[in-house]
Copies of this chain bind each other. A is one copy, B any other.
């Protein structure tokens, strides 16, 4: 009988534990707890009747057979074309060959990691950055070169310095630079136009691809849209950037549909991997997302979502001001969009320990260490402001302040 499973697991998986967040979310089953931990969009902006209408149509007599059958691995042509139009609004022009429909943003990350990373390969990232990227890439056991993020996004000068050091020492170059330039998860920070251009300079100079992850891009509540790195690259050679997108934040997470864009050679190889890895994305879910783009009043919906989340963000920031005056030594980012902000506590407070304390106060967040590939910071927390009701948001800040003041 087999007892020693662990020693049979592959080197890639032996020590792979998945999402650290998952483990802590399990502790939040108490309904009294107000959770600022998850990254959930609010059902208040879900297009429920839009979804119902779309499904009725999709399951009509003319189409239901094809919906229930296998479908094309790169994705439904109708959705690919809807995506191409969606991107055109944003100054991006791509052909069918440049688009792969994925089974979620996480799947998009997995395809990217799997395509490029051998064990021990390097990835250049912000410190902190999206935990899900570490989880996806982690399946290939890379190492990370991290640089502390600044108020206007990646510290591109420090990226350059690191690359220059590698060049001088004839070391291994990173396989790619991974960034979330708009309303980054976990910090909510947005990269300036100047830095986007500088990052592209770097990409061309050192011949390193940029992976631009854009789940929140259309959720801007203040200020002006900044061109995506992908669109900026299209004004150069259009060869150096791979874009990752998902319907999870702009429509809803439940469909598990996203898309990757990039050079045809990259997209084709990602499609090959997808063939081995899950075959096709369900046509039902793709057709629903296609209807979301084409038939549910896209711009109006996005405007409504932005108005909705803007109110929550403003309320949250005001309440933070009220409960965390400067003398508490607590500071936080002021995002212009997205779902998250990032709070920094006095150095001596370990937010991993604080998490368990906070649960006693019936409030939860994600401890900051989970957003680092190496050498984590210990006094940060990621706070989600999109999901809870306004009343809950205020109450959550009140509870947090009680809990934190106890530690001060």
Give residues in A with beta carbon < 8 Å to B: 1-3, 5-6, 8-13, 16-19, 22, 38, 40-41, 43, 46, 48, 51-52, 55, 59, 64-65, 67-71, 73, 103-104, 106-107, 110, 114-118, 121, 132, 135-136, 138-140, 175, 204, 207, 209, 236-237, 239-240, 248, 252-256, 263, 265-266, 269, 271-285
Contacts of A265 in B (CB 8 A): 5-6
28 A-B pairs within 8 Å (CB atoms) are namely A1-B204, A1-B240, A10-B116, A10-B117, A10-B118, A10-B121, A10-B140, A18-B275, A18-B276, A40-B70, A41-B69, A46-B65, A51-B64, A55-B55, A67-B254, A68-B253, A69-B254, A107-B278, A136-B277, A138-B276, A139-B276, A139-B277, A254-B283, A254-B284, A255-B284, A256-B282, A282-B282, A284-B284
Contacts of A278 in B (CB 8 A): 103-104, 106-107, 110, 256, 278
CA–CA, A240 and B3, complex, Å: 9
- A121 to chain B minimum Cβ distance, whole angstroms, is 8
Given A10-B115, A110-B276, A136-B276, A68 and B40 touching (CB < 8 A)? no
Q: Are B207 and A277 in contact (CB under 8 A)?
A: no
Q: Are B276 and A106 in contact (CB under 8 A)?
A: yes
Say which residue of B64, B106, B252, B281 sits within 8 Å of A256 (CB atoms): B281
Say which residue of B2, B16, B240, B279 sits within 8 Å of A272 (CB atoms): B16
- A381 to chain B minimum Cβ distance, whole angstroms, is 20
Return the chain B residue nearest A11 by Cβ: B118
CA–CA, A82 and B253, complex, Å: 24
Say which residue of B12, B19, B51 sits within 8 Å of A68 (CB atoms): B51
